[in-house]
């Protein structure tokens, strides 16, 4: 039997009504711009006696709130599936409608901008500059107690043409002083160590895990988090949205004066100009994640490599019709590339295309570069992770952000977040103190400096805690807050297992993408009839393998009619 409910109110259906569902597994579109949803074919609902439930949609001058979408529960043979009912049109006293289920049913809030979520409301940092800097120091020294961190980075275009040149423009400037010690300092905050220039801004960096889990918690959707381990839980968003409260022309030109900083902020203010679904797609594309909702609206987040390597399965051997349709596909490989955003001119200066005919065998160190050499040849220097070209001697050519080829290479896939550079930069006069920080070059969101356009660029980093500056006998030694795309600090101590570039042993390719892309390139695809019931659908976990007579498969697509009176058509990919 089939029933539909909006809250506690039952929708009256025509006798014999059925709903044909197509349930798609979104993990197969992880790297696609469009994620195929799960939806029904159109079906008909009588206008009477449902007019009052839908606020009289046939009355053109109705003063009621006539909406096109309603959250619904679909009861089929005693099991409840959650979804969204969409009213399309009214014809001859009947309403034509369809439904979405799974992740598609959450579209109402998935399409909201990140800035529209409350994320727990305002964070008050203090009422004075001294209290704000004290709060920042408290955060970096107790980072696990907060939903965000502060860490310094350089952006000479932060406030457009007035910033930086010839001075460094810092965001979250972390000072040092051999008398007062290091920290976010009230009396030096806003200087470039000359105490006369006002080249700094403030911007908190929210944790990725918090943003995802809190957005769904706000909307009553439970989350099963099988992805964020201890290190991945420290992923943060490097915000280019500045919390400056005012500038004057006098201050923008670098004269003495103090920035005004907002003493409170909302997490949404520190996030890129993205909808929740677009944010999730970028995270999923970066880490090759399965982010999907079950038919009872529980969100599951899991690494796709873990899906492939898992030994857990549901036994479908007795449910499957033995007559499979088997597709014969060519093996197709993939080429995984870093996202080097063209808008970031700093990265563009250091990353160039590599003409294949000029690239020769790599060398371990600079000392092994041949002299003399064939003009224009390019070689990778492994210990520097840089390409050098021979012209008038050997000269730097490009950073090494080589793509990763899987199954011989083929279709190009670009990770979701934008890669930036980590640079060792001077943070003081006399070139004494050097720190390793992110370096970007893109105008920040700062209405006070005339930039009202928030960026859609997503930059991520790992919070690596308080780390030492460069070891140098003539340098004052101190610890500073480090957010980084790589795994080491300036003392060459390994801080984690993962970097955010595609290549290398710690890179995204080997750790998050390779197993899944190998599976997709070589899997055999079969389609057959499967005897599913309403309980199977209600408890369907498309991340779990299905065992059929000793062979394991992942479900790609299910076509089923509710109430279930015949077998479903299921597309399966052999693992």
User: What was the pLDDT predicted at 249?
Assistant: 36
| Shared domain check, 193 and 98 | no
**Residue 24 within any structural domain of the chain:** yes
| Shared domain check, 194 and 250 | yes
**pLDDT at residue 170 above 90?**
no
Question: Which tokens sit at 366?
Answer: 């600079």
**Average of per-residue pLDDT values in the chain:** 85
| CATH number of the domain within which 542 lies | 2.30.110
**Residue 144 within any structural domain of the chain:** yes
| Shared domain check, 250 and 136 | yes
**pLDDT at residue 310 above 60?**
yes
**Range in 104-118, 254-268, 448-462, 535-549 the model is least confident about:** 254-268
User: What was the pLDDT predicted at 277?
Assistant: 92
| Shared domain check, 258 and 135 | yes
Question: Which tokens sit at 165?
Answer: 């040149």
Compute the distance between CA of residue 496 and CA of residue 232 in angstroms, rounded to an integer.
Answer: 10
User: What was the pLDDT predicted at 23?
Assistant: 92
| Shared domain check, 146 and 170 | yes
| Shared domain check, 137 and 45 | no
**Residue 494 within any structural domain of the chain:** yes
pLDDT digits (tens, 9 = 90+) for 231-258: 999 999 999 998 865 444 334 444 434 4
**pLDDT at residue 351 above 70?**
yes
**Range in 363-372, 449-458, 536-545 the model is least confident about:** 449-458
Q: Band of the pLDDT at 184, cuts 50, 70, 90?
A: low
**Range in 195-209, 442-456, 543-557 the model is least confident about:** 195-209
User: What was the pLDDT predicted at 174?
Assistant: 82
Cα–Cα nearest to 203, from 232, 173, 183: 173
User: What was the pLDDT predicted at 31?
Assistant: 58
Q: Band of the pLDDT at 261, cuts 50, 70, 90?
A: low
Cis ω on the peptide bond leading into residue 118 (within 30° of 0)? no
**pLDDT at residue 551 above 50?**
yes
Q: What is the pTM of this model?
A: 0.86
| Shared domain check, 170 and 101 | no
| Shared domain check, 102 and 164 | no
**Residue 543 within any structural domain of the chain:** yes
Compute the distance between CA of residue 193 and CA of residue 152 in angstroms, rounded to an integer.
Answer: 15
**Residue 308 within any structural domain of the chain:** no
Query: Which stretches of 111-196 are DSSP H helices?
Result: 129-141
**Residue 349 within any structural domain of the chain:** no
DSSP state of 232: G
| Shared domain check, 124 and 106 | no
Rg of the chain (C-alpha set) = 28
CB 200 within 8 A of CB 190: yes
User: What was the pLDDT predicted at 549?
Assistant: 93
**Range in 188-202, 281-295, 536-550 the model is least confident about:** 188-202
User: What was the pLDDT predicted at 297?
Assistant: 81
| Domain span holding position 138 | 120-207+240-273+433-501
Question: How many domains would you assign to the chain?
Answer: 2
Question: Which tokens sit at 176?
Answer: 């040092």
CB 57 within 8 A of CB 51: yes
Strands 244-246 and 260-261: what pairing?
antiparallel
| Shared domain check, 494 and 440 | yes
| Shared domain check, 104 and 30 | yes
| Shared domain check, 154 and 13 | no
- Cα dist from 280 to 111, 268, 373, 374, whole Å: 11, 15, 48, 47
**Residue 284 within any structural domain of the chain:** no
**Residue 345 within any structural domain of the chain:** no
pLDDT digits (tens, 9 = 90+) for 369-411: 999 999 999 999 988 888 999 998 999 999 888 888 998 899 8
CB 36 within 8 A of CB 52: no
Cα–Cα nearest to 236, from 484, 489, 488: 484
Give the DSSP H/E element, type plus range, for residue 479. strand 479-484
**pLDDT at residue 33 above 60?**
no
User: What was the pLDDT predicted at 247?
Assistant: 42
């Amino acid at each position: 039997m089939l029933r539909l409910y909006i809250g506690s109110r039952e929708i009256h259906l025509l006798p014999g009504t059925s709903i044909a569902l197509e349930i798609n597994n979104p993990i197969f579109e992880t790297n696609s711009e469009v994620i195929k949803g799960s939806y029904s074919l159109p079906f008909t609902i009588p206008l009477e006696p449902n007019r009052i439930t839908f606020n009289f949609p046939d009355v053109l001058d109705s003063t009621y709130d006539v909406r096109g979408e309603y959250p619904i529960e679909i009861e089929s043979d005693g099991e409840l599936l959650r979804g969204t009912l969409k009213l399309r049109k009214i014809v001859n006293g009947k309403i034509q409608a369809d439904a979405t289920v799974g992740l598609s049913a959450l579209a109402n809030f998935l399409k909201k901008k990140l800035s529209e979520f409350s994320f727990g409301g305002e964070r008050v940092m203090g009422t004075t500059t001294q209290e704000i800097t004290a709060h920042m120091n408290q955060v970096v020294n107790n980072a696990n107690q907060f939903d965000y961190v502060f860490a310094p980075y350089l952006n000479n275009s932060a406030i457009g043409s007035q910033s930086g040149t010839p001075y460094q423009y810092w965001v979250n400037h972390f000072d040092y002083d051999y008398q007062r010690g290091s920290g976010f300092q009230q009396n030096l905050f806003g200087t470039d160590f000359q105490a006369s220039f006002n080249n700094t801004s403030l911007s908190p960096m929210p944790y990725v895990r918090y943003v995802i889990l809190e957005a769904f918690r706000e909307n009553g959707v439970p989350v099963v988090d099988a992805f964020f381990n201890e290190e991945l839980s420290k992923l943060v968003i490097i915000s280019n949205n500045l919390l400056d409260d005012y500038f004057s022309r006098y201050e923008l030109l670098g004269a003495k004066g103090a920035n005004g900083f907002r003493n409170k902020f909302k997490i949404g203010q520190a996030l890129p100009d993205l909808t929740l679904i677009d944010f999730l797609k970028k995270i999923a594309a970066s880490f090759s994640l399965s982010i999907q909702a079950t038919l009872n609206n529980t969100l599951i987040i899991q690494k796709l490599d873990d899906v492939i390597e898992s030994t857990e399965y549901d036994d479908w051997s007795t449910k499957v019709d033995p007559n499979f349709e088997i597709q014969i596909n060519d093996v197709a490989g993939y080429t995984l590339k870093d996202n080097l955003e063209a808008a970031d001119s700093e990265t563009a200066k250091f990353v160039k295309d590599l003409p294949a005919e000029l690239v020769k065998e790599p060398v371990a160190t600079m000392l092994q570069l041949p002299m003399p050499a064939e003009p224009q040849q390019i070689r990778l220097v492994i210990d520097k992770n840089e390409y050098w070209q021979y012209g008038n001697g050997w000269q730097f050519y490009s950073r090494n952000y080589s793509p990763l080829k899987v199954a011989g290479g083929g279709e190009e896939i670009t990770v979701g977040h934008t890669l930036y550079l980590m640079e060792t930069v001077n943070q003081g006069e006399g070139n004494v103190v050097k720190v390793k920080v992110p370096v970007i070059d893109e105008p920040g969101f700062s209405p006070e400096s005339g930039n009202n356009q928030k960026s859609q660029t997503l930059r991520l980093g790992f919070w690596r805690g308080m780390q030492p500056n460069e070891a140098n006998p003539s340098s004052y030694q101190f610890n500073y807050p480090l957010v980084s795309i790589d795994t080491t600090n300036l003392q060459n101590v390994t801080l984690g297992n993962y970097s955010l570039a595609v290549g290398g042993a710690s890179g995204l390719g080997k750790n998050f993408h390779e197993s899944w892309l190998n599976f997709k390139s070589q899997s055999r695809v079969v389609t057959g009839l499967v005897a599913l019931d309403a309980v199977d659908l209600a408890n369907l976990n498309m991340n779990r393998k299905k065992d059929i007579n000793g062979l394991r498969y992942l479900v790609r697509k299910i076509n089923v009619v509710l109430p279930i009176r015949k077998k479903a058509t299921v597309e399966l990919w052999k693992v």
